[in-house]
Amino acid sequence: MFEEIANEPTDTTLKSFSFDRLGRLQSATDSVGTTAYAHDDYGNVRTIGSKALTWTRRNLLRNYNGTDYSYNHQGARFQKTTGGSLSQTTYFLDGSKVLGENRKTDDQITKLRYYYDATGLSCFTYRAPGQSSASTYRYLKDALGNVTGLMEGGSVICRYTSRGRNTRGR
């Protein structure tokens, strides 16, 4: 999971995008090809290429690409199920704030817990199946509260510029 965060991005492909008169994404083009986007009357994305999305009457995502989403009465997602019961994510909420999640795949559970301070999300813990203890990851923030990096233990594992570029800390 965190290898993606820590590794320097290698995709330098230029992408171009087209939008309709309402500002909705219509297509994205890169060196591989063009992906078309279609929208329903409410502005929800109906298709991405050949993959369909379905929505609830409250404009909440119900299904995308074999993954079903469930929401509580406040509209906060509390469960995500992929492939029937093969992979399931259960969220622990305080109102609409996510306090944690359990990701279950083939009877193996990965646990994430989120911790907040006055500026928002400050850190999270990650415990993979078979691990006796969780690893703690802390966000580095600038004076405006923008995330500028991520620490594991006492080591900076990545830094971000104002443009979101990962400048790898290791």
Task: Confirm whether 145 is domain-assigned.
Answer: no
Amino acid (1-letter code) at residue 41? D
* Averaged pLDDT of the chain: 85
Rounded mean pLDDT of 71-84?
Answer: 82
What six digits make up the tokens of 78? 């509390």
Task: Confirm whether 122 is domain-assigned.
Answer: no
Task: Confirm whether 28 is domain-assigned.
Answer: yes
Task: Confirm whether 26 is domain-assigned.
Answer: yes
Question: H helices then E strands: how many in the chain?
Answer: 1, 15
pLDDT at 166 over 90: no
- Taking only the tens place, the pLDDT of each residue in 101-131 is 999 888 899 999 999 998 889 999 999 998 9
Task: Confirm whether 34 is domain-assigned.
Answer: yes
Residue count of the chain, please give it: 170
**What dihedral angle (degrees, nearest 10) is formed by the CA atoms of 133, 134, 140, 145?**
-130
Task: Confirm whether 30 is domain-assigned.
Answer: yes
pLDDT at 54: 96
Return the higher-pLDDT residue of 133 and 166.
133
pLDDT at 7: 40
Number of domains in the chain: 1
pLDDT at 39 over 50: yes
pLDDT at 11: 54
Residue numbers of the domain that contains 37? 15-56
Cβ neighbours of residue 15 under 8 Å, at least 6 residues apart?
28, 29, 30
Q: What percent of the chain has pLDDT over 90?
A: 53
Confidence at 170, pLDDT banded by 50, 70, 90: very low
pLDDT at 6: 38
3-state DSSP assignment of residue 6: helix
pLDDT at 19: 93
Return the higher-pLDDT residue of 157 and 105.
157
Return the higher-pLDDT residue of 164 and 24.
24
